[in-house]
Structure 1
Amino acid sequence: MSGKYDAIVVGSGSNGIAAAIRLQKKGLKTAIFEQAATPGGATRTMELTMPGFKHDVGSAILPLGLASPFFRDLPLDNFGLEWIFPEIAYAHPFDDGTAFGCYKDIEKTAAQLGEDEAAYLKLFRPLLNNWDKLNSDLLGPLGIPEHPIPFLKFGLKAMPSAQMLANHYFKNDKTKAFFYGSAAHSTLPLTNIASASFGLVLTTSAHKYNWPFPKGGAGNFTKALLDYYKSLGGEIFLSQYIRDIRDLPNAYAYLFDLTPKQLLKIKGLNFNLLYRKRMEAYKYGAGVFKMDWALKEPIPFTNEKCRKAATIHLGFTKEEIENSEKEIHQKNMTSTPYVLVAQHSPFDPTRAPEGHHTAWAYIHVPNGSTEDYTKIVEDQIERAAPGFKETILARSTLNTSDLQQFNPNLIGGDINGGKQDITQLFTRPIAKLSPYATPDPRVYICSSSTPPGGGVHGMCGYHAAEKALKDHFRDLS
């Protein structure tokens, strides 16, 4: 290892790397310490099923990777990153064989919705038109917005529950289910306050940028970020499990890409009793059960729109999705859960041997559940794609315990770094003026347990780095 550093980042997820890049670009000497032998946190690609079949272990479709105000301005294409844009960002099939597709073209999307066409445009067109004014404020901590009027108008739409917003704007149950498909990424009951915000942000980003993914695997996004970071002079040390801050080299600032539960286990931190008590009360959300398949042919979706989308939301009625997302928070499961499916290989032949394919899916489950939900996941896909099971060559399953072992940040299988309800949406991990700072003036949190929360956007790391710059390197901030 080199000599003294200005700042050290612990954890090499997208937020940790973003923090390191921001600080390194400012001329600081930085290093990343990662506990795993492979960097990337949940953004990694591995051969989970059979040789030659590349599967994204965690994040698979990265709409916010392209929408991120920070990542978007980095020259990642110079470091091998190539985005793939499917014709349809996401599709939502129904039991009668019909489906809706979310196209980048907002008018084309709305035209599918019949009596809800005008309402869809009324809801989303203003958000799309104002996206460039909203993006930075939405992907940041709570504070005075840079563009208060557009932000206030967004807030009036985002604060209701997804159920309330859908019932207010839409008449047709299929349109409501279509909106639920993106809103349910929140991993919250759709009756929760502010659950609508996830559907609004993700759908608007689809109309602005599509929902792209990196060619060759999500791990290539991590590789491009790290190659760029190293080109700036940054260093990364792998297989470094940090139990005590004194295990790290001296630095003015330490940024931890960890959730509260993990951070509290680090010895040598000057945290007072009140702060520790508040951090111990931090709430984790539902977990996920994750599956990957090696396939002998593409998923045989009945509807052509599903074959043109890389992401498919399976929830065949609005009631199914509502019930699925409600039950998991009561420690129950339904036999017809909401399923997120990703299929890369129809658009990216590098993912599988010639003539073969891959698929990826997960469902929301009670936090910490170790049940095997293989049958209900495959049954749901079979409803939209009869014959799917016959295409399977091999499968991989990861329950919440497996996921946490793969990436310790996924506490109980929670992929969002903590529950993203109204109490922890902007005020995470606790309510304070700067959620990134801690009572120890050297220590900052840069994980998805800080605003704006889950997603591969790097903005948690960016904002934590900005706070560290202001506190310790004011002449550079």
Structure 2
Amino acid sequence: MADVAVVGAGPNGLAAAVVMARAGLDVHLYEAAATIGGGTRTTELIEPGYFHDVCSAVHPMALASPFFKSFELSQRVDLRVPEIQHGTPLDEGGAALAYQSLERTSAELGVDGPAYRRLMAPLLAHVEGVVDFTSNQLLRVPRDPLAALRFGLATLDQGTPFWGRRFREEAAPALLTGVMAHAVSALPSLSATGAGLLLGVLAHAGGWVVPMGGSAAIAKAMADDLLAHGGTIHTGERVDSLDQVRPAKAILLDVAPPTLARLGGGEVPDRYRRALETFRFGNAACKVDYILSGPVPWSAPGLAKAGTVHVGGSRAAIAEAENLVAMGKHPKDPYVLVSQPSLVDPSRAPAGRNILWTYCHVPAGSDVDMAEAVTARIEQYAPGFRDVVVASKTTTAADLAAYNENYVGGDFSAGLVDMRGLLQRPVVSNAPWRTPMAGVYLCSSSTPPGPGVTGMPGYHAAKYALKDIFQAQVPGLGVGL
């Protein structure tokens, strides 16, 4: 009889399985797809020899997540830090650039450089406390109250309609808004601002790393550790009922709330079932992958060295595009998030060729192909981009939903990222990873701290399962342990 069954081999299910196996338990991990990874898969999506990340591509939390730090991910995976972490091209020419150095970033932001520095420096000085505060359930006393206070004040500063009062020019606010828009939310908002400030300060701390060989390298590192500690991985095996994985003593589910309601069947109490079935999902993404004959011909030279580019123009233009999506519309000039992995990882494509990873936001469930809008938006800031495109492939929001059951409507955040959605994920509780069903835990991104490749939902669920069922503590996770 297995001690532990984990359903779903995304990064959170893998993290949960690693923790439980490290505790000396017999762990079986079940994945419906033919390969593990979930949001961290890499595949030859368009042509042989070109390796594209299916979902996540750049990993701001790879060096900062408490789980990945304990797991010593940087010793297991070759994580490359671009020279420039992210940038935003500007309509008047040039670009706002975020270096790992806060001082250099501020110095190049012109008249608003000192204001940007005053916003980010207190967060950078307390970055470990900021990460701890944002990596757990918000309904807890923070370990570093000063860090939480400074983070809250910065969020209030940039998360309301008064967000422009700190700045006088376009560069600094455009740089910040490009990062805030990762949250797929109306702008300005407190939730998107909090997410953006966290990502922004991490750019100045460890950096936004790109894994050599693709995001699948992160999943492989966790799977290798699980197997090394006696775990078993079952791929191509769909779980349709909790009874299918019983009599495991602990069941940890990397699934969306509606899937948990279905798997639990009659065991799910009515009130909890209502919370699961009415859980709110957000808007979605349309992803466009490219094969290029060379690098993107950005007009602003600095963008050629940026691992991530936020294409959208000014703060007002980015907010307008995101607010149209929030109203259920497809923007003509969308905000486009661009990753350039070939800058640091030549193994992704044959010599002389590049791959490019992009997406724009669209309403939930959309089946609209946004490739032309994305291409035109990039061409606006990189004249001649069309000439270097060799091939492309579109993955609509509807395609994303079909690819991963957790991405309801194409929502890769696995839940609406607003203040209510951060607190009620999927229920308001100081331990939302526990479910009312004995021995059953939820460990997907629909639990705190929410979206992103952090492993933290799996870590938290495993921590409670160890305590509740096995009267054990989280074991050491390092390479030498």
- Fold conserved between structures, TM > 0.5: yes
1:213-362, aligned counterparts within 5 Å? 213-268=210-265, 270-362=267-359
Q: CA deviation at 1:63?
A: 1.2
1:389 aligns with 2:386: yes
Alignment partners' CA distance in 2, 1:262 and 1:242: 10
1:370 aligns with 2:367: yes
Query: Cα gap change, 1:161/1:413 in structure 2, threshold over 3 Å: closer, same or farther?
Result: farther
1:438-449, aligned counterparts within 5 Å? 438-449=435-446
Given that residues 165 and 196 in structure 1 are in contact (C-alpha distance below 8 angstroms), is that contact kept between their aligned partners in structure 2?
no
- Please point out which of 185, 189, 193 is paired with 1:188: 185
CA displacement 1:288-327 (0-9 Å, x = unmatched): 0001011111111111111001100001122211111111
Given that residues 127 and 154 in structure 1 are in contact (C-alpha distance below 8 angstroms), is that contact kept between their aligned partners in structure 2?
yes
Q: When the two structures are aligned, how many residues end up with a matched partner? A: 473
Local SS of the residue matching 2:29: strand
Counterpart position of 1:93: 89
- Please point out which of 34, 39, 45 is paired with 1:42: 39
1:379 aligns with 2:384: no
Counterpart position of 1:120: 116
Counterpart position of 1:135: 131
- Please point out which of 27, 43, 46 is paired with 1:30: 27
Local SS of the residue matching 1:175: helix
Query: Cα gap change, 1:308/1:359 in structure 2, threshold over 3 Å: closer, same or farther?
Result: same
Alignment partners' CA distance in 1, 2:34 and 2:239: 13
Alignment partners' CA distance in 2, 1:210 and 1:64: 9
Given that residues 160 and 193 in structure 1 are in contact (C-alpha distance below 8 angstroms), is that contact kept between their aligned partners in structure 2?
no
Counterpart position of 2:424: 427
Alignment partners' CA distance in 1, 2:301 and 2:67: 35
CA displacement 1:198-239 (0-9 Å, x = unmatched): 121000000001111100111111111111221121111001
CA displacement 1:12-49 (0-9 Å, x = unmatched): 11111111111111222211101100100021111111
Q: Residue type of the partner of 2:322?
A: E
Q: CA deviation at 1:114?
A: 1.4
Alignment partners' CA distance in 2, 1:378 and 1:328: 18
Counterpart position of 1:405: 402
Local SS of the residue matching 2:63: helix
Gaps of 5+ in 2: 475-481
1:37-76, aligned counterparts within 5 Å? 37-76=34-73
Alignment partners' CA distance in 1, 2:283 and 2:58: 20
1:170-185, aligned counterparts within 5 Å? 170-185=167-182
Gaps of 5+ in 1: none
| Stretch deviating more after TM superposition (448-457 or 460-469) | 460-469
Counterpart position of 1:474: 471
- Please point out which of 143, 148, 153 is paired with 2:150: 153
Query: Cα gap change, 1:122/1:160 in structure 2, threshold over 3 Å: closer, same or farther?
Result: closer
- Please point out which of 200, 208, 212 is paired with 2:209: 212
| Stretch deviating more after TM superposition (261-270 or 312-321) | 261-270
| Cα RMSD after superposing both structures | 1.5
Alignment partners' CA distance in 2, 1:365 and 1:323: 13
Given that residues 101 and 305 in structure 1 are in contact (C-alpha distance below 8 angstroms), is that contact kept between their aligned partners in structure 2?
yes
Alignment partners' CA distance in 1, 2:162 and 2:105: 18
Given that residues 123 and 169 in structure 1 are in contact (C-alpha distance below 8 angstroms), is that contact kept between their aligned partners in structure 2?
no
Local SS of the residue matching 2:239: coil
Alignment partners' CA distance in 1, 2:443 and 2:185: 23
Counterpart position of 2:78: 82
Q: CA deviation at 1:268?
A: 4.3
Alignment partners' CA distance in 2, 1:154 and 1:78: 30
Given that residues 162 and 183 in structure 1 are in contact (C-alpha distance below 8 angstroms), is that contact kept between their aligned partners in structure 2?
no
Compute the TM-score of the two structures, normalised by the length of structure 1: 0.96
Q: Residue type of the partner of 2:128?
A: D
Local SS of the residue matching 1:209: coil
Local SS of the residue matching 1:274: helix
Counterpart position of 1:418: 415
Amino-acid identity (%) = 38
Counterpart position of 1:10: 7
Alignment partners' CA distance in 2, 1:75 and 1:130: 21
Alignment partners' CA distance in 2, 1:160 and 1:255: 39
Q: CA deviation at 1:76?
A: 4.0
Local SS of the residue matching 1:28: coil
Q: Residue type of the partner of 1:93?
A: P
Q: Residue type of the partner of 2:116?
A: Y
| Stretch deviating more after TM superposition (7-16 or 404-413) | 404-413
Query: Cα gap change, 1:269/1:228 in structure 2, threshold over 3 Å: closer, same or farther?
Result: farther
Q: CA deviation at 1:346?
A: 2.4
Local SS of the residue matching 2:391: strand
Q: CA deviation at 1:78?
A: 5.5
Local SS of the residue matching 2:180: helix
Q: CA deviation at 1:267?
A: 4.3
Local SS of the residue matching 1:297: coil
Compute the TM-score of the two structures, normalised by the length of structure 2: 0.95
Q: Residue type of the partner of 1:124?
A: M
Q: Residue type of the partner of 1:366?
A: P
Q: CA deviation at 1:368?
A: 0.4
Q: Residue type of the partner of 2:87?
A: A
Alignment partners' CA distance in 2, 1:217 and 1:224: 12
Alignment partners' CA distance in 1, 2:336 and 2:7: 33
Given that residues 145 and 151 in structure 1 are in contact (C-alpha distance below 8 angstroms), is that contact kept between their aligned partners in structure 2?
yes
Alignment partners' CA distance in 1, 2:179 and 2:460: 26
Given that residues 159 and 195 in structure 1 are in contact (C-alpha distance below 8 angstroms), is that contact kept between their aligned partners in structure 2?
no
Q: Residue type of the partner of 1:329?
A: A
Q: CA deviation at 1:160?
A: 5.8
